[in-house]
Amino acid sequence: MPFSLWITLLVACLVISFTPGAGAINTMGNSLNHGFRRSIWGILGQQAALVIHIAIVALGVGVLVASSEFAFNVIRYAGAAYLVYLGIRQMLAKPTLPGDDDDETDASGRALAATSESRWSMFRRGLWVNLLNPKAIVFFLAFLPQFIRPGEPLWVQYLIVTVTVITVDIAVMWGFFAAAAHGFRRFTRTARGQRTLNLVFGGLFIAVALLLAFVH
pLDDT at residue 98 greater than cutoff 60: no
10-65 residue pLDDT tens? 988 888 888 778 888 899 989 988 888 999 999 999 999 999 999 888 887 666 66
What confidence score (pLDDT) does residue 166 get?
A: 95
Q: Which domain holds residue 72?
A: 22-96+113-214
Residue 103 lies in a domain: no
Helix axes 69-91, 22-34, angle to 10 degrees: 20
Residue 40 lies in a domain: yes
Residue 150 lies in a domain: yes
What confidence score (pLDDT) does residue 109 get?
A: 39
Residue 106 lies in a domain: no
Residue 108 lies in a domain: no
Please count the structural domains in the chain. 1
Residue 169 lies in a domain: yes
Residue 59 lies in a domain: yes
CA 15-165-2 angle, 5° bins: 95
**Closest among 191, 188, 199, 206 to 91, alpha carbons compared:** 199
pTM of the full structure: 0.76
Tell me the pLDDT band of 103, cut-offs 50, 70 and 90: very low
147-159 residue pLDDT tens? 878 778 888 888 9
Residue 11 lies in a domain: no
